[in-house]
Amino acid sequence: MTGGAGFVGATLVRRLIASGHTVRVFDNLSTGHRDHLTGVDAELAEGDIRDADALDKALVGMDSVMHLAAAGSVVQSVADPVTNFDVNVVGTFRVLDAARRAGVERTVQASTGGALIGDATPPVDERSLPKPISPYGASKLAGEGYAYSFAKAYDLRTVALRFANVYGPWSARKRGAITTFFNRLHSGEPLVIYGDGSSSRDYIHVDDISSALQRALELDLPGGTVLHISSGVETTAQELAELCRTAAGRPDHPIEYEPARRGEVDRNFANYDLAQKLIGYAPTIAREDGLPSTWEWFTEHVFRG
């Protein structure tokens, strides 16, 4: 599993091991951390997904690849498109090519919905025309393209899951609105909303994402499959701020507004009907439950000092 010491990986590794899978984590620990795997019966191989030789060694004896490693920030991709391309496009190609050389049966990779589709009237789905407006979205679209081509050219059973905005335990290092809001709620700094608060996203708990990833790994899906994994619920930035303030028990915490940032889509939420049909996926954790439990995790594991 690439990126297995990261946010989603920390939850997914535990889930797969509990289900009887043997897991080898391949991670350069740039955004992940070895402490995320403390007490977990998984092997950790340190390495970078752009290193073909390291990938070859890591894939010895493996029959599947879960590819989660990525440069995941839209804002950072606008500031540094070269690094984003190198990690997400070159890196994903290296992973797929290493899987081909190793004779791996299937790969499941993390993609994205909103950034890849771009500005489109929601809800979006697998038939929506991708028009990414950030280098990050373009890099994920390229990764899906390579996965599809490897499925057709080499019979590699590739699956790409387009994640909504993921939150939950182990997300302290994640660059995203919820982590940022929680940190500011804890420190006393005002919450910052970019734009007028009407921009929207689809937020999904990491447990639901991990369930979908496991289903995509274990079920016999055709190579080249792409699925949206989402909550199907549109949440504006203003609503998210209110939900986070409520979760933290600080309903009057100040909010400030700054200009919208380049590369970020205005509105997004996704339809998950195809994922429900093909892998039996449906979200189980509502934002009204998931955000308070995530705040509790931050309080216990991040803010305790």
- Single-letter amino acid, residue 178: I
Please indicate whether residue 272 is annotated as part of the active site.
no
Active-site hit among 136, 146, 272, 281: 136
Name the token pair of 267.
């509105």
Give the DSSP per-residue string, the chain: -BTTTSHHHHHHHHHHHHTT---EEEE--SSS-GGGGTT---EEEE--TT-HHHHHHHTTT-SEEEE------HHHHHH-HHHHHIIIIIHHHHHHHHHHHHT-SEEEEEEESHHHH-S-PSSB-TTSPP--SSHHHHHHHHHHHHHHHHHHHH--EEEEEEE-EEESTT-TT--SHHHHHHHHHHHTPPEEEESSS--EE-EEEHHHHHHHHHHHHHS-PPTTEEEEE-----EEHHHHHHHHHHHTT-TT--EEEEPPPTT--S---B--HHHHHHH-------HHHHHHHHHHHHHHHTS--
Smallest CA-to-CA distance from 66 within 205, 218, 175, 170 is with: 218
Strand partners, 257: 193
**Alpha carbon distance 55, 46 (integer Å):** 10
Residues acting as catalytic residues? 136
